[in-house]
Chain A
Amino acid sequence: MSHYTKSTLIKEELRRPRYVAGAIVTLLTVVTTYFIYTNPNLNMAALFHSQQTGGETAVLYVPSYDAGIGESGQLEVRAKNNLEAFDAMSFFIEFDPTDALSISENSLILDNQTLVQSASFKDVTLEEPGLLGVTLLLDEPVAVDGPTPLEIETHETLFKIQVELSDALEDDTPINLSFKELTVTNNEALVVTPDLPSSTLTALNEPEANVVLQSKVNSIFPESITNEQKQTVLVSGSDLDTVDELRVGDVLVPVVEQFSTSLKIEIPAGFKPGVHDITLVDDQNNDAVFKSLLTVVGEGGQNEGEAEEILLETSGSVPVIDVERSYTNPAMVINDGQTPFTFYTFVQDVDQDIESVLVDVSAVGQVGPEAAEVFESEAVLTLETATCPTSSNTIACMTPSITEGNGQWYLLSNLSIRSDVVVQSDPYLIEVLVKDAGGNSSQMSVPLYVGNEVDFSAPRPLAVVATGPDAVEILFNKAVDPTTISSAAFSITSQQGALGVQSATINAAETIVTLKTGAHTLNEIYQIQVSSAVQDKQARPVATSESTLEFTGFQPLGQSPVLDYLSVVDNTMVELEFQHALQLSSIFDAEVMVYESEDPLKTLNVLGVAVISDHQIQIMTDTQSPNRRYRLKINGLKSYDGTELLTPLNRGFKGYNLQAIHQAASSRLADFNNDLRVDFADFTIFSSVYGTTYDALSPGTSSGSQISNPSNSNGNEDEGQIGQPIQEDPDALVPITEEINA
């Protein structure tokens, strides 16, 4: 530090109009001040660019060799010498950490195309309250011919200023909260890009007097939410910036924004309905606050031990378990301890970095048939213990299946229900927990219906497809009573109004209903509703909540089905995804065959076909042999418009290799920096944190030496390599580096 000396100070006053957004004053420039500090060792200077606002101050520090106000009035930064590769560039933003204004740590985006072509190291750190530091290391030199100005104008440094609410507001005071993106284009003005979504919040009443509060929370807004979509909840109070984690019920909810007087959290869609405590944990103070979203619950504080154990940093989006798309096949599972069933769930994650999806079936069954021995039946599914693969057969990891949008299907097959599980009409609940690489997690309860060959599940439409200009097919999850099918049981509407249903017929399997309708409008989105008049064989009606589906008005395709993806999801199931919707009735009428590639006479039994969506199907088979090559042949399949495959679809796949899947999952454990590679960087990280000193010798070798003979060494299979522990340490994960393709 001592090698910096202040050499020059320039001050220039520039008068700027104030910019006001809503009721909150955002950043505006009134006075610009420069401080130039030189570093004789580095031959560099740091320019401190001060932008004083109406009450708040933000300071931008720009390193440079020279700086000043150009003739055009723009701020210019000049380089006396060329910048070399590996030169460091530091930016600092200072702000006044008052109640009224703060800048969150991740709010700075640098897009500096002129100066920084590429940087091998980027670091954004909150140096202290009120000072954000950004450091870049240049990868490539920046040549400067003469005094070419590197104008701030071209830097396009983008700021997002987060306005924090003051807690001095009275009850029910409306607050206009706006988020602005401010682009510093030059020294003259701050150009304001269009508003980000703004919201109006309302200061809420003080909590009820009988609530046991340690301190901190004043209000939670809104107090009730629906679980139909992701919702943001604002917790306001005091000293909230020291809160280390926040739970809603048992679910750890990431804090997306955190300030001293407010916390913003996101409740994922599909969150378990009910009354949930909100628990805030401050690790340092070992205290907690309890509130409730729907009703206030007075509780004591969190146990110290629990508070100390929990520390989670989150980044990225929160994975969401879609309960509506979580189900078993068959829908009703049998409590005989042996009938296998498969559990499916759909998980959405915007940044698609899901690490593990686990399901806890310990309350009702296990993976595999009921056995005398149940592994770790006492295990409890918690965030801390949820790691794949598990050593339990009651808490198991689900296998990723088909990707759909930013979501992914997961499944777990070969499950069975214990014979001592009592049959009841209400579903049992099994817990599903999802973790992603960013430390985000979700946990949901999914219903599971148990029967003893009595099917309690209600009928529901699974998929609907327009198969002609005046025809629609609807697939049900189970056989329905043909006598309950009539045109009156179906209603179709769109923005244009109602679409008449003239007749309804059902197929032999009693699972697909074909409707003759009025003429469709091209590409019009229709909603079809199945009335509760439609019932299954046990006279259970279609549930109202599951009675509506959408389809698009018929458009001729003129193309036979095109297979996009084939996935082997486990050793008894293959999933197919087609480019376009299929004619639902053709799925069950099609001829499906699986045989071994090397011997077509050896076939693999096809046990059934299930529909996931209008363009996704599953084919259940006998157990495949690991790595054996098979051919899947399908004949008679039709696109939704009835165009049939001209030649049978024929696609190869390799039998599911459970061991390989587990090995791949294990190898990922050594990927410490989560870059999807296990390489020397992981080895370095491992080395830096692994406190045990290895014996650098292999047993039996001379001190610290290794003789390697290329004639018999490929460097990969030597036993007793140096650097390995003499005694095997089951907790040690030494990454394996990979060779590049030279």
Chain B
Amino acid sequence: MKSIKIFLAVLMIVLASNVLSGCDARPQEAAQEVAGLQQVTEERSHLPQLAMARMDMAQELKKTVELKIELISESDEMLHVQLQLDNPEQKPITSVESWISFSSDRLRGVRMDVDESLFELAAPYENGFDERGRLKLGRATATPVKNETIILAELWFEKTLPGPVILEAYDYQYDLSGHQSVNMMHDDVPINILLKPNTPLLITP
């Protein structure tokens, strides 16, 4: 390992001196070495391009989308929140499945408004509240959404008991096997690019 480091250091010095002072002072052997390396580099110049493209593709599929709940208003009787996605890299999102759990003793879901949702398709049976304290939201679009901020729905809850309330993301998994995913298509396969949501998503005083 030491020999490699020495070799690297020498090479860097040679290259640096070449840049700073031109080629005149460079030893002939080193010049041949660099010339050989440049030739190899030119011959393989297409390889890093492809490798880089490959890494870019992998980066594209990396999980970068965040699920958030913004508190819009709160009173002793009602809680009004907005479910949204932060998509900083503006990745093309085809579908969102987000189940939000809450205590059915304290809250009762009364309304979900998808006026501003850009996902025009609704998954069957995933568009409302159930008796077990869960909001089931499943939406998709034929035209992928790339916005940085994506509003999924506005939610209204009725408070049935006083005190703090907690909203949780329900059943997150790395892939689509859970009930919490933001998905983009790659080679006709949906890939979940949703980061693991914070726990809890929202807690009120």
Contact A69 B1 (CB under 8 A): yes
Distance A558 CA – B13 CA, assembled complex (angstroms): 87
Q: B49 in the interface, Cβ–Cβ < 8 Å? A: yes
Report A-chain residues with C-beta under 8 Å of the C-beta of B37: 9, 11
Contact A713 B138 (CB under 8 A): no
Of A33, A121, A694, most B-chain CB atoms within 10 Å: A121
Interface residues of A in 120-160 (CB under 8 A from B): 120-121, 123, 127-128, 131, 133, 135, 137, 139
Q: A687-B140, A687-B141 are in contact. List 4 more A-B contacts (CB 8 A).
A: A1-B49, A705-B111, A705-B112, A723-B123
Distance A679 CA – B138 CA, assembled complex (angstroms): 11
Q: B172 in the interface, Cβ–Cβ < 8 Å? A: no
Report A-chain residues with C-beta under 8 Å of the C-beta of B62: 86-88, 137
Distance A48 CA – B12 CA, assembled complex (angstroms): 19
Contact B108 A704 (CB under 8 A): no
Contact A708 B7 (CB under 8 A): no
Contact B61 A684 (CB under 8 A): no
Query: Given contacts A690-B142, A693-B142, A710-B109, is CB(A704)–CB(B114) below 8 Å?
Result: yes
Query: Given contacts A11-B37, A135-B57, A137-B62, is CB(A715)–CB(B130) below 8 Å?
Result: yes
Q: What are 14 A-B contacts defined by CB distance under 8 Å?
A: A4-B55, A48-B47, A71-B1, A88-B58, A133-B50, A680-B138, A684-B183, A688-B95, A706-B128, A714-B131, A735-B124, A737-B126, A737-B138, A740-B171
Q: How far is the CB of A126 from chain B (nearest CB, A)?
A: 11
Report A-chain residues with C-beta under 8 Å of the C-beta of B178: 740
Query: Residue A737 contacts which of B56, B111, B125 (CB distance < 8 angstroms)?
Result: B125
Count chain A residues whose beta carbon lies closer than 8 angstroms to a beta carbon of B: 81
Contact B142 A687 (CB under 8 A): yes
Q: How many A-B residue pairs have CB under 8 A?
A: 240
Report B-chain residues with C-beta under 8 Å of the C-beta of A35: 41, 44, 47-48
Contact B94 A696 (CB under 8 A): no
Interface residues of B in 80-139 (CB under 8 A from A): 94-95, 97, 104, 108-117, 120-132, 136, 138-139
Distance A605 CA – B170 CA, assembled complex (angstroms): 53
Least CB separation from A735: chain B residue = B124
Q: B75 in the interface, Cβ–Cβ < 8 Å? A: no
Report A-chain residues with C-beta under 8 Å of the C-beta of B139: 723
Least CB separation from B2: chain A residue = A71
Least CB separation from B49: chain A residue = A1
Query: Given contacts A683-B138, A684-B185, A722-B122, is CB(A88)–CB(B61) below 8 Å?
Result: yes
Query: Given contacts A684-B176, A721-B124, is CB(A708)–CB(B111) below 8 Å?
Result: yes
Distance A706 CA – B138 CA, assembled complex (angstroms): 13
Q: B179 in the interface, Cβ–Cβ < 8 Å? A: yes
Per-position 1/0 for A516-556, Cβ under 8 A of B: 00000000000000000000000000000000000000000
Of B12, B53, B125, most A-chain CB atoms within 10 Å: B125
Q: A92 in the interface, Cβ–Cβ < 8 Å? A: yes
Distance A693 CA – B140 CA, assembled complex (angstroms): 11
Distance A10 CA – B178 CA, assembled complex (angstroms): 46
Per-position 1/0 for A663-686, Cβ under 8 A of B: 000000000010000011101111
Stretch at the interface among B23-31, B186-194, B197-205: B186-194
Q: B19 in the interface, Cβ–Cβ < 8 Å? A: no
Least CB separation from B191: chain A residue = A121
Contact B128 A713 (CB under 8 A): yes
Contact B171 A684 (CB under 8 A): no
Q: A476 in the interface, Cβ–Cβ < 8 Å? A: no
* A-B complex: 7 closest residue pairs judged by Cβ atoms: A723-B122, A88-B58, A708-B128, A687-B140, A684-B95, A684-B190, A1-B52
Interface residues of A in 467-522 (CB under 8 A from B): none
Contact B127 A715 (CB under 8 A): yes
Interface residues of A in 705-740 (CB under 8 A from B): 705-710, 713-716, 718, 721-724, 734-737, 740
Contact A673 B8 (CB under 8 A): no
Q: How far is the CB of A723 from chain B (nearest CB, A)?
A: 3
Q: A319 in the interface, Cβ–Cβ < 8 Å? A: no
Query: Given contacts A69-B4, A680-B123, is CB(A710)–CB(B138) below 8 Å?
Result: no
Per-position 1/0 for A34-47, Cβ under 8 A of B: 01010100101010
Least CB separation from A12: chain B residue = B4
Q: B40 in the interface, Cβ–Cβ < 8 Å? A: yes
Distance A446 CA – B183 CA, assembled complex (angstroms): 47
Q: A61 in the interface, Cβ–Cβ < 8 Å? A: yes
Contact B50 A10 (CB under 8 A): no
Distance A430 CA – B140 CA, assembled complex (angstroms): 46
Report A-chain residues with C-beta under 8 Å of the C-beta of B187: 123
Q: How far is the CB of A680 from chain B (nearest CB, A)?
A: 5
Q: A97 in the interface, Cβ–Cβ < 8 Å? A: no
Q: A68 in the interface, Cβ–Cβ < 8 Å? A: yes
Report B-chain residues with C-beta under 8 Å of the C-beta of A734: 123-124
Distance A683 CA – B127 CA, assembled complex (angstroms): 14
Q: How far is the CB of B36 from chain A (nearest CB, A)?
A: 8
Contact B59 A88 (CB under 8 A): yes
Q: A6 in the interface, Cβ–Cβ < 8 Å? A: yes
